[in-house]
Structure 1
Amino acid sequence: MGCCCRGVSLLTLVVTLLLSGCGQFGYYWQAGKGQWSVLSSRQPIDSLLSADSTDEILKLKLQHVQQFRQFAEQQLLLESGGSYRHFVALDDDYVVWNVYAAKPLSVESYQWCYPLLGCMGYRGYFQKSSAIAYAEQLAEEGLEVHVGGVTAYSTLGWFNDPVLSSFLGENTLDLAALLFHELAHRKIYVRGDTAFNESFATAVAHLGIAQWLATDRVAQQDPAAFQHWQRQQARASAFIELLLEAREELSAIYCSGRTVDGKLQAKDKAYLKLQTRYRQYAEQWHYRGYDAWMADINNAQLATVGDYNLWLKSFEALYRQNPGDWQLFYQGVQQLAELPRKERVIELELLKSR
């Protein structure tokens, strides 16, 4: 399908969003304009691979993309459709900047509701300055905020998502995990449940990488890179566990019968404790890569960590019931997705405890 047809499809979607947006014209306009800019800059990967002028490093990474996409389709039963068959060179390391927020006495993500998509725990902007300006507005309203750059996103099958240059800064296995994660969003998506959607996609990425590694392809080709990735993953898992424990502690404080002042005092102590534990973590792992992120850690950041990892263990437990059978796994996830939200949470909690 040519660009003109895609332009019409995009325009139709944007008009729908604008008519449903209740005064959010500016936000949806920038979203539509940004999406169109991405789609209109696509180059076919096959053409780039056959062109003598294409940089050899880029060719190698695009070949990896093709391998991972085929593996996702054939082994993980994910459907790519026409996605990840084109490449877009961006002018920045990130394609979108997301704004995250939380109330001063909550580690639950502030929700924004969108036509067609439901409510989500973030608001995305194609211009960093716009994201920062909106975050500052929310901060003035009393919310705790965080702005984070995003290297990839899924349009959930509305469009054929391209490979972005922001993907390719990742090492080989991180690139695979990113593709598996984004393709999982096309497989199953629950309107208005960010934690379910992101935890599911994160689980698919983790489980998919484990299955990829079982082939020993990476270990045989580059054992040093494989060992580096293993250490990186162990380090990241330890860091996320640290944050999830702090999130649970703060959630208990915020839900307690303390006075507001009592909660705020306990909150300060909990964050001081987190910083102390983080320093111990950094010394143990000899790694300071999270220092900037931890410098002004707040509820919005912990809420985000929860959204992407809250039900990770639940989905991994569901997969272990029939390891290697992706069809049964997806059937189980779909059954959870169809439950009313409260019942879904109960089932996810039960899975997590197994």
Structure 2
Amino acid sequence: MKAIVCTKYGSPDVLQLQEVEKPTPKDDEVLIKIHAASINSRDWRMMRANPFFIRLVPGGFLQPKNKILGGDVAGRVESVGRYVKQFKQGNEVFGYLPSATGRGTFAEYVCADENAITLKPANPSFEQAAAVPVAGLTALQGLRDKGSIQPGQKVLINGASGGVGTFAVQIAKAFGAEVTAVCSARNLDMARSIGADHVIDYTREDFTRNGQRYDLILAANGHHPISDYLRALSPDGIYVVAGGSMLQLFQAALQGRRNSKAGSQKTYVISLTQSQKDLIFMKELLETGKVVPVIDGCYPLSKTAEAFRYFEKVHARGKVVITMETS
């Protein structure tokens, strides 16, 4: 099969289209013919070995241990192991594979545990379904599990135009929140179109200093110090970190421990948990139209390096998707 192989750590130039052995599913796995995958920050970090400790866990000191990147997947079941109960040949499925599995989805085929996937929603395309798992579940678990989101709350999404942010705006609206989206001027109309009640152009207004207070803030980037976010929170508000530099994530984790001891404000760092139940929840939101994936662009598998160049140089609007030419 064809696959994008990460030959060593470095720029997108290290990504090469190669012929590799087609995988064979184990007894509890399914073999998926991939129709689409999508790029996430974790893929960029693995390619770049950024931060450096990725070379130690989970990756391979001198070169990547898992040479095929990609976690999001949407495709069709080609065959199943003898113990698989949930799926059969021909089922359209979507899901994601954690990097610890050693399986990558920038390829024509991949094997997956049956609990890592679920049936693809009926209406969205394979490309739209592939955009959902990592970013959508990060937003869902950040808002619901860490943020304890409730109807009527004032929720702010910082970085609302990116992969996690576009899902977070829509999921927060699905939970009945009043949503403020923070993004650049070129994305304000897009943020309104996906349901934001209020929009803030961060180049013209600093939401941490305008006097507004929010019950829940989810930050999909790290543009502000933690103290700024806490200033914009209500006295018993929750700040959830879903992106940013490793230093900022570490600082947020330390701040969370201090806050839990010192006062009512809470700070959490979201670490994505694989959950078939949450995939099914996202599937229902997609089928009812409460969530519509925002896709910045689609690139064929052979142009994956070009897709990564775009991903790392441009603030992508939503997700960047990789498609299989043979699909």
Same fold judged by TM-score > 0.5? no
- The structure with the greater share of residues assigned to strand is 2
- The structure with the greater share of residues assigned to helix is 1
Using structure 1 for the length normalisation, give the TM-score.
0.25
Using structure 2 for the length normalisation, give the TM-score.
0.27
